[in-house]
Amino acid sequence: MGRWLWSSLAALIAILGIAFSVMNFQQVSLAIGIGTLTLPLGVLVLLALLAGAVIAGLLLWAAVILPLRFRLRALEKTHAPDLQVR
């Protein structure tokens, strides 16, 4: 049931993204310091959303997940004798 739900949600988001891109086809220019990018507005917005999600994921990994892994590894080393099967 869970896999079907996530697949349906992913398909719905993809369809909405495609529809958004088709409705916003005007060309816009974005100055990025070293040059200018000219893309359709829908594509530019979707790329900005994707970049934001990737940056947020990297920050989450660096600020939360990685320190918790280090902490778990340290706890496993200190409590390893307690976990042995007798």
Beta strands per DSSP E along 1-86: 27-31, 36-40
Our measurement of the distance from residue 27's CA atom to the centroid of its chain's CA atoms, rounded to an integer in Å, reads 26
Query: Which single residue is written with the structure tokens 């934001």?
Result: 52
Tens-place pLDDT, residues 30-72: 898 899 989 999 888 888 889 999 999 999 999 999 999 999 9
Given a contact cutoff of 8 angstroms between Cβ atoms, the answer to whether 26 and 14 are in contact is: no
Domain count along the chain = 1
Q: What is the domain range of residue 60?
A: 2-83
Query: Taking every pair of C-alpha atoms in the chain, what is the biggest distance, in angstroms?
Result: 70
For the cut 60, the answer to whether the pLDDT of residue 86 exceeds it is no
Number of residues assigned to the chain: 86
Tens-place pLDDT, residues 10-27: 899 889 888 888 888 899
pLDDT of residue 84: 63
For the cut 70, the answer to whether the pLDDT of residue 81 exceeds it is no
For the cut 70, the answer to whether the pLDDT of residue 73 exceeds it is yes
